[in-house]
Homo-oligomer: A and B are copies of this chain.
Amino acid sequence: MPTVDDVAQAAGVSRQTVSNVLNSPEIVREATRQRVLEAISSLGYRPHASARRLRTRKSATIGVRIDPWRDGISGAVLDRFLHKLTEHADARGLRVMVFSAADPDDELARIRRLREGSDVDAFVLTATTHGDERIRALTEQGVPFVAFGRPWDPETSAVRHRWVDVDGRAGVAGAVRHLREQGARRVGWIGWPHGSGTGDERRAGWEAACGVDADARAALARHVEDGVTEGSRAAAELLALPEPPDAIVCASDSLALGAMIAARTAGRPALPVVGFDDTPVAAAVGLSSIEQPLDDVVAAALDLLFGPAGDDVRPNPSSDEEPTDRLLAPRLVERRPGHLALDAIPGT
């Protein structure tokens, strides 16, 4: 039986390139791909059952890491993502296996084991970071995967791979513009400390759309760790300014819930506050929030991995110009400040 090494030698490419041709053909240059396919054909090489199952989409199984449970409102977005992934996968006859991992190295080790046992055919990475080591490692190993999260630096951007992300910058800019159209003139910002790709993008959206000068931007922005108490403290500071904000946009619903409570405490229950992720708590307390379109994210991720829904086989892109990524627009879910309408409740 010929092996991957035989194919690699015959085609004059690395073992990894053969694996890429089998598992991620669209990331391989057309000429190389043809040479490898000819070697496979002439040698009579039969790829691994799992790779074959993946290509024919017969009961393929997708693996996804579940993070350890944390107390925190913002973790809800990845739980929601998992719900959506499971629903979309079921509808396509795909299966979803979940696993835990202590850190990126552990995640890579678990992915290796799940691949060796042919239990899982493709993976979804979540929460990509600066210098994300998983992207190069999985690409080099020829493991089919799609990332929910874009590459955040030149190194990972240089690795051609599949990813889907949500344009947080556009989402925040849209919310800020909407608040200004509603009459806000000084929109404040409560975000995270610099350095997280996601947080910096969201802040950039506020900067681009807030329409005030650099001095006012410096006065109207706070950068704190994620949390309700942190958000309320930052909002209280902003509201105590000589020229306080007349609306506040936040990088998360945790921060926004804190800002909402601080606004009530400061006697400004109608202050518009906008969070991010539209978590259950935002819906529950009547907080406006920027919603990631997770149905679209999941559909795009599965399309990139397996081809459009309804296809029986994976498409074979004719060149490496075929897009391998999708950046989707979030939308503002607007709720009336004071939605709980406590003032209207008898007896209060």
With an 8 A cutoff between CB atoms, is A247 at the interface?
Answer: no
The residue that A80 contacts in the complex, of B69, B257, B280, with Cβ under 8 A, is: B69
Once bound together, how far apart are the Cα atoms of A284 and B214, in whole Å? 33
Nearest CB of chain B from residue A282's CB, rounded to whole Å:
9
Contact indicator A95/B96 (Cβ below 8 Å): no
Say yes or no: B264 contacts A285, CB within 8 Å.
no
**A200 at interface by CB-CB < 8 Å:** no
Residue A97 contacts which of B96, B117, B343 (CB distance < 8 angstroms)?
A: B96
Interface-lining segment among A167-175, A184-192, A228-236: A228-236
Contact A100 B87, beta carbon cutoff 8 Å: yes
A348 close to B265 (CB less than 8 A): yes
Contact bitstring A62-73, B, C-beta under 8 A = 1, else 0: 000011111111
Quick check: is A122 within 8 A (CB to CB) of the other chain?
no
Closest beta carbon of chain B to A68's beta carbon, Å: 7
Known pairs A86-B98, A281-B284; A342 contacts B71 (CB<8 A): no
Is residue A209 within 8 Å, beta carbon to beta carbon, of the partner chain? no
How many Å lie between the Cα of A86 and that of B98 in the bound state? 7
Does any Cβ of B come within 8 Å of A158's Cβ? Answer: no
Using known A-B contacts A240-B347, A262-B348, determine if residue A232 contacts B342 with beta carbons closer than 8 Å: yes
| Contact (Cβ within 8 A) A284 B69 | no
Interface status of A83 (Cβ within 8 A of chain B): yes
B119/A99 in contact, CB under 8 A: no
Residue of chain B at shortest CB distance from A266 = B348
A280 with B75: CB separation less than 8 A: yes
> Is the beta-carbon distance between B68 and A281 smaller than 8 angstroms?
no
Q: What is the oligomeric copy number?
A: 2
* Binary interface encoding of chain A residues 166-207 relative to chain B, with 1 for a CB under 8 A from any of its CBs, else 0: 000000000000000000000000000000000000000000
CB-CB under 8 A from A310, the residues of chain B are: none
Task: Tell me which residues from 112 to 167 in chain A have a Cβ below 8 Å from any Cβ of chain B.
Answer: 117, 119
* Chain B residues in 8 Å Cβ range of A239: 347-348
Taking a contact as CB atoms under 8 Å apart, the answer to whether B342 and A236 are in contact is yes
User: Chain B: which residue is nearest A339 at the CB level?
Assistant: B229
Q: Does A79 contact B (CB under 8 A)?
A: yes
Nearest B residue to A283, CB-CB: B71
With a CB–CB cut-off of 8 A, which chain B residues contact A61? Answer: 97, 119
Residues of B within 8 A of A345 (CB): 232-233, 236-237, 262
| Interchain nearest-CB distance for A188 vs B (Å) | 14
The contact string, 1 if C-beta is below 8 Å from chain B, for chain A 253-267, is: 010011001101110
Closest to A226 in B: B284
Q: Are A280 and B73 in contact (CB under 8 A)?
A: yes
Question: What are 18 contact pairs spanning A and B, CB under 8 A?
Answer: A66-B83, A68-B87, A69-B84, A70-B280, A76-B79, A76-B280, A79-B79, A82-B98, A83-B100, A86-B100, A90-B110, A97-B97, A98-B98, A227-B284, A232-B345, A236-B345, A257-B285, A258-B340
Known contacts A66-B82, A264-B264; 16 further A-B pairs (Cβ under 8 A): A59-B117, A69-B83, A71-B280, A95-B97, A95-B119, A96-B99, A97-B97, A227-B284, A229-B341, A232-B345, A236-B342, A236-B348, A237-B346, A254-B284, A262-B345, A266-B348
